[in-house]
Structure 1
Amino acid sequence: MEWSCDPNDRVAGLKIIEDLTQSAGQVQRRVLDEILRRNSETEYLKGFIQGDLGRETFKKKVPVVNYEDVKPYIERIANGEPSQIISGQPISELLTSSGTSGGHPKMMPSTIEDLDRKTFLYNLLVPVMNQYVDGLDQGKGMYLLFVKQEITTASGLTARPVLTSYYKSKNFRNRAFNGYNVYTSPDETILCTDSKQSMFCQLICGLVQRDQVLRVGAVFASAFLRAIKFLEDHWEELSSNIRTGIISEWVTDSSCREATMKILEKPKPELADLIESVCSSKSWEGIIKKLWPKTKYVDVIVTGSMAQYISTLDFYSGSLPLVSTMYASSECYFGLNLKPLSKPSDVSYILIPNMAYFEFIPVNKGLEEERIDRDVHCNGNTDKICMEPEPVDLVDVKVGDHYELVVTTFTGLYRYSVGDILLVTGFHNQAPQFKFVHRRNVVLSIDTDKTNEEDLLRAITKAKLLVEPLGCLVTEYTSYADTSSIPGHYVLFWELQTRGKNPLTELESSVMEDCCSNVEEELDSVYRRCRSKDKSIGPLEIRVVKQGTFDALMDFCVSQGSSVNQYKTPRCIKSEEALQILKSRVLWSFFSKKMPSWVPYRLIQH
């Protein structure tokens, strides 16, 4: 199966999308047949299908799994056993996801060919965008892109984030420079492993080429806003460098420095004057348009947990269109937004049917999300087989229904539940379009962190032991992700009760600050990396609220339709009205004073 698209040929690119979506069901059958043909002799598949390549056998015999089910196979490969355990092609690297397992990043198998599939999807973006925005080949994109920590497994395989893998690949270096793929940032600045030096140099390059910039962005909204905050903190130094034509001495990465100097070339005092005039103003509202006046849109993901940044992006951009172009994960690249200028709340993605074999588990969507029929009874007995609904194929989903995404990939994942909950919003030809709703079980997220309810409970359970010697008990808690400042941070609301009859009058700040730090120490490695290394998450905050606050929260939820009998305190607050109930009853606020510990994950051979 070939994955090729010339991004310079708009007509051909759009025809590829039409052809694939008009025969989505047929393409999906071919994809599954190809995956089974390639991988039927792997240890994993052979144990279920025993050489039978039929689709019905595959669906009947191969179970739907999550990461914990496949983790032992992937770790065996990481520790030196052959790729044939799960893949008919050699595993070339492992892609670390932002989700975690046992406090460590998940690792997804990847092959050399997988880079071609990713490039194919990136190339399809170009004709789609050119349909809606004219003249993108007449300028550049100021994209702030970064690489992250790599590790080496016991077998010598590299494990790294999916975007780091792509930016370091020949596919990225040799991309078709058709205008759309021309960036203000030289590759050397993107590949600089020191994020501060990388950010500084990329911003200099972006400012120097401001008159050529037609679009700005980053992968996630959080990363782009972090760049704005960096600009806010360092604009005077950036301006000084541009004025003198000399890069600050602390930028020591030679490749990064040399590439930036080639862009800067010479002193530019007039540009420095303009930057100082714009950045010294009292308000930074519309700062993007002021510094990069030809910008047509902001290219960032603002779906899912990133939607919390929309209002802040609107403020800084002067309400430029916010474009979410692509739907992808470490497991697989999935699809595209065929209407990129739609409002963030209306964004839907079409899954490109040759990228993987897709299945969908129906889920009920309500106050208590669950898979449909989870609690049905068979002959009077609850049966796990009956409890799990049958996944449906890509072309068989129904508009208006919610589903959990399951993928079978070319790289060694079979009927793997990604954990994404999707809403079917319509069809493009035979292919359905999906709105990303959220990740299953994730309650808090600021950047690439994904904290679920179980992780949060474990962390709070340990931290609250510190207040018990003070004669206090944590009777209730909830949380929310505060993105009103940059970087955002986790906020926990605690309701405390004294062991005696005396009301709570004061708390020892040092103890509560230690509670904040203890919670952070118990959260997973991705959160701790974002806090300690990337500085993309601020210190965790605990707000102690008046007694009776959570009763008021329950009253509000019941008034909105919750059942008194089935009410459970939400562990993450999404409603602004509910949030105001909590905020209006805060007695004290405490922040973590310590950075949580973090060291790069090293796989230990078993």
Structure 2
Amino acid sequence: MDGKKLEYKGDKALKELDKLTRKADEVQENLLREILTRNGETEYLNKYLFGSKDISEFKKSVPVITYKAIRPYIQRIANGEASSLITAHPITEMLCSSGTSAGEPKLMPSIEEDLDRRTFLYNLIMPIMNQYITGLDEGKAMFLYFVKAEMSTPCGLPAPTVLTSYYKSKHFKFRSRDPYTDFTSPDEAILCNDSNQSMYCQLLAGLVHRNQVLRLGAVFATAFLLAISFLKRKWMNICNDIRDGQVDPTEVTDPKCRTAMSAILLRPDPRLADEIEAICSRDSWKGIICQLWPKAKYIEAVVTGSMAQYIPSLQYYSNEKLPLVCPMYASSECYFGVNLKPLCSPDKVSFTLLPNMGYFEFIPLGVNGTLVLDVDEDEEVPQSKLIGLVDVKLGCYYELVVTTFSGLNRYRIGDVLQVTGFHNKAPQFRFICRRNVVLSIDNDKTNEEDLHKSITVAKKLLEPYNALLVEYTSYAETSSVPGHYVIYWEIIQCSSALSSSLVKNKTMNEILTNQLDLNVLEDCCIAVEEELDYNYRRCRANDKSIGPLEIRVVKPGTFESLMDFFINQGGSINQYKTPRCIKSSAALKLLDSNVKARFFSPRDPTWTP
């Protein structure tokens, strides 16, 4: 990045974005050439290139890999061997992935200049937003950010999450130079390892500044909704703190947090406390976000892929008055791109890949715009099959492959993307799913997108009961023959007043126990199955190799317990995403201990040969 990463702000950032995308092919070629020049002598690349720095030789000889292939090198470095195994640069840390998509955390090598690239992308977000909403520098942002206590490798390398790494870096520390980074949360609260104390302080600070907040958000929609749930439990305590002008010592014990919050709670403010109490004590929390933060103009969070499940909940709490902004596309391995139309509908979100972030290649998944997942995760992919960034075709599906300065070479990210357009020469992609999150019993392979689509259809059957599906996950039950899909649902009532005359004056427990509503949940089971693909329905209805789909309704709060479980296993609250397919026996035990009702499909799904 030539040390210029902080120069690109405002109009300069947009001009640099335009320049990069107009020359996307040149930028990509030059970037790969630089990677080969720097890393060509590493042990990993040298065994394929024999010292060559030639791009054509790289494309012909270096294999396409998954984490399984690079893990031995990463483990050797983690144990104390030289970074030169995979990169010419000193590896400064091993980033710990969230670990909930594929089932276990991965360690990703990171070098110092990776932070420059991430900062470059972050610096594009507000210039893009300013094209659509003005005056955002005239107030504060209530962004809920969290860190995870750092682990380390056997040789002492830090092993933080990618976001913890950024929040603890000088790039984040010196953001005060930017008028758009006036956050309500003090750094001490963001950097607190205790997520409960961090959440309490950040919500308290956000409510103290409620009339100055113009932007709301978290990295993922899950974290923002977790904050709403936390606020439901703690709003009275927060109001008491505001009324007294000091933080309850039983809620916040961290000395740095207490000192930081004392600078925010300068004096008792009973009037503000009364305002917040009047809002939070209402029977319904529909629209609560707009009531608590009346000047907010949008909610920023990832709502694509598996996060799309949370859109109805966000819309419920904002009364559909605030746009949901999904600004960027990134992972622990590499940051990829930005959303140039941030106010678009969540289902229309596309990301423009930035050609200076890494060297990008793509595995075609089907032809003529048809998605065909015919390349298994562990199947060898011919080098000749890959195509470059500027050569992808509109409407077609691809799996993303990346090469980085930090030592990942032709690494399969595992994300399935669809080309939706181009910005200059740079393609724009819609995130479809993580290809390695699937349900499978026989010849069926249900990916994350198909599962989400089927549940989106089925959950509409709950609407007459004013009930909301707030969370779900699944697993393939194979202990019996035939095996079957199990889907865990957590359902809540949206309001105390039920809209359907059929269920007037009934509680949610009653809804789940009488015969009428037993049929409704059975209808949800078959609705899911009817939306699954041909192979699944054939296996169910013709081959009888898959049994009836089962929905297990769990107690409220179960998925918060599931999140706590994964965080205690080394995940991060900041990066947590509910896994759509559960493989952990301990996690399944937790879910099953909270099941209060079970329902099965009453018939086979329709199928024709």
Please give the range of the TM-score, normalised by the shorter of the 2 chains: 0.7 to 0.9
Distance of 1:359 and 1:268 partners within structure 2: 56
Match of 1:262 in 2: 263
Matched, 1:159 2:210: no
Displacement of 1:526 in angstroms is 6.2
Q: Which of the numbers 421, 436, 446 marks the counterpart of 2:431?
A: 436
Q: Which of the numbers 587, 591, 595 marks the counterpart of 1:540?
A: 591
Match of 1:200 in 2: 200
Match of 1:399 in 2: 394
Distance of 2:483 and 2:162 partners within structure 1: 38
Distance of 1:93 and 1:223 partners within structure 2: 25
Match of 2:338 in 1: 336
Distance of 1:442 and 1:337 partners within structure 2: 25
Alpha carbons 1:286, 1:318 under 8 Å: kept: yes
Match of 2:16 in 1: 16
Which deviates further from its counterpart, 168-177 or 294-303? 168-177
Alpha carbons 1:48, 1:61 under 8 Å: kept: yes
* Inter-CA distance 371–16: structure 2 relative to 1 (3 Å threshold): farther
Distance of 2:573 and 2:325 partners within structure 1: 30
- Once the two structures are superposed, residues 268-322 of structure 1 have per-residue CA deviations (whole angstroms, 9 ceiling, x without a partner) of 1000000110001111111111111100000001001000000110111122100
Distance of 2:525 and 2:156 partners within structure 1: 45
Displacement of 1:400 in angstroms is 0.3
Distance of 2:337 and 2:276 partners within structure 1: 38
Match of 1:602 in 2: none
Match of 2:179 in 1: 179
Match of 2:275 in 1: 274
Displacement of 1:484 in angstroms is 4.3
Alpha carbons 1:139, 1:179 under 8 Å: kept: no
Q: Which of the numbers 459, 463, 477 marks the counterpart of 2:484?
A: 477
Alpha carbons 2:476, 2:485 under 8 Å: kept: no
Match of 1:348 in 2: 350
TM-score for both structures, normalised by structure 1: 0.76
Q: Which amino acid aligns with 1:332?
A: C
* Inter-CA distance 321–96: structure 2 relative to 1 (3 Å threshold): same
Displacement of 1:493 in angstroms is 8.2
**For structure 1, which runs of at least 5 residues remain unmatched after alignment?**
375-383, 445-449, 465-472, 496-508, 565-606
Match of 2:55 in 1: 55
Displacement of 1:124 in angstroms is 1.3
Alpha carbons 2:5, 2:116 under 8 Å: kept: no
Distance of 2:475 and 2:484 partners within structure 1: 13
Instruction: Give the superposed CA RMSD.
Output: 3.5
Displacement of 1:54 in angstroms is 1.0
* Match runs of 1:168-567 below 5 Å: 168-250=168-250, 251-319=252-320, 320-364=322-366, 369-371=372-374, 390-443=385-438, 460-461=477-478, 464=479, 473=480, 475-480=482-487, 482=489, 484=491, 539-541=590-592, 544-546=598-600, 549=602, 551-552=603-604, 554-555=605-606, 558=607, 564=609
Match of 2:129 in 1: 129
Distance of 2:292 and 2:26 partners within structure 1: 49
Displacement of 1:148 in angstroms is 1.1
Displacement of 1:176 in angstroms is 4.5
Alpha carbons 1:308, 1:483 under 8 Å: kept: no
Displacement of 1:211 in angstroms is 1.2
Q: Which amino acid aligns with 2:342?
A: P
Distance of 2:72 and 2:16 partners within structure 1: 38
Alpha carbons 1:3, 1:120 under 8 Å: kept: no
Distance of 1:532 and 1:111 partners within structure 2: 24
Alpha carbons 1:49, 1:62 under 8 Å: kept: yes
Match of 1:500 in 2: none
Distance of 2:180 and 2:206 partners within structure 1: 15
Matched, 1:67 2:67: yes
Distance of 2:124 and 2:244 partners within structure 1: 42
Residue 416 of structure 2 aligns to a residue in which SS?
Answer: strand
- Once the two structures are superposed, residues 372-394 of structure 1 have per-residue CA deviations (whole angstroms, 9 ceiling, x without a partner) of 7x9xxxxxxxxx87877611000
Distance of 1:420 and 1:291 partners within structure 2: 37
Distance of 2:576 and 2:62 partners within structure 1: 42
Alpha carbons 2:78, 2:155 under 8 Å: kept: yes
Distance of 2:111 and 2:598 partners within structure 1: 50
Q: Which amino acid aligns with 1:482?
A: W
Alpha carbons 1:45, 1:62 under 8 Å: kept: yes
* Inter-CA distance 452–329: structure 2 relative to 1 (3 Å threshold): farther
Which deviates further from its counterpart, 397-406 or 150-159? 150-159
Distance of 2:573 and 2:354 partners within structure 1: 37
Q: Which amino acid aligns with 1:225?
A: L
Alpha carbons 2:417, 2:432 under 8 Å: kept: yes
Residue 360 of structure 1 aligns to a residue in which SS?
Answer: strand
Q: Which amino acid aligns with 1:321?
A: P
Distance of 2:97 and 2:166 partners within structure 1: 14
* Inter-CA distance 149–460: structure 2 relative to 1 (3 Å threshold): farther
- Once the two structures are superposed, residues 127-163 of structure 1 have per-residue CA deviations (whole angstroms, 9 ceiling, x without a partner) of 1111111001101100010001321111110111100
* Inter-CA distance 457–315: structure 2 relative to 1 (3 Å threshold): closer
* Match runs of 1:2-151 below 5 Å: 2=2, 4-6=4-6, 9-99=9-99, 104-151=104-151
Displacement of 1:476 in angstroms is 3.4
Alpha carbons 2:476, 2:483 under 8 Å: kept: no
Aligned residue pairs, count: 503
- Once the two structures are superposed, residues 171-218 of structure 1 have per-residue CA deviations (whole angstroms, 9 ceiling, x without a partner) of 110124322111000100000000000000111100001111001000
Q: Which amino acid aligns with 1:300?
A: A
Distance of 1:246 and 1:111 partners within structure 2: 42
- Once the two structures are superposed, residues 489-529 of structure 1 have per-residue CA deviations (whole angstroms, 9 ceiling, x without a partner) of xx99899xxxxxxxxxxxxx9xx99xxx9xx99x9966956
Distance of 1:134 and 1:289 partners within structure 2: 19
Distance of 1:246 and 1:386 partners within structure 2: 60
* Inter-CA distance 101–217: structure 2 relative to 1 (3 Å threshold): closer
Q: Which amino acid aligns with 1:370?
A: L
Displacement of 1:474 in angstroms is 5.7
Distance of 1:481 and 1:364 partners within structure 2: 32
Distance of 1:145 and 1:334 partners within structure 2: 21
Distance of 1:7 and 1:483 partners within structure 2: 47
* Inter-CA distance 43–532: structure 2 relative to 1 (3 Å threshold): closer
Match of 2:499 in 1: none
Residue 188 of structure 1 aligns to a residue in which SS?
Answer: helix
Alpha carbons 1:105, 1:526 under 8 Å: kept: no
Q: Which amino acid aligns with 2:421?
A: G
Displacement of 1:441 in angstroms is 2.2
Residue 338 of structure 1 aligns to a residue in which SS?
Answer: coil
Distance of 2:487 and 2:180 partners within structure 1: 38
Alpha carbons 1:335, 1:351 under 8 Å: kept: yes
Residue 180 of structure 1 aligns to a residue in which SS?
Answer: helix
Distance of 1:536 and 1:370 partners within structure 2: 23
Q: Which amino acid aligns with 1:125?
A: I
Residue 215 of structure 2 aligns to a residue in which SS?
Answer: strand
Distance of 1:213 and 1:536 partners within structure 2: 26
Q: Which amino acid aligns with 1:337?
A: N
Displacement of 1:544 in angstroms is 3.9
* Inter-CA distance 527–420: structure 2 relative to 1 (3 Å threshold): farther
Residue 117 of structure 2 aligns to a residue in which SS?
Answer: helix
Displacement of 1:230 in angstroms is 0.5
Distance of 1:336 and 1:534 partners within structure 2: 18
Alpha carbons 1:211, 1:292 under 8 Å: kept: yes
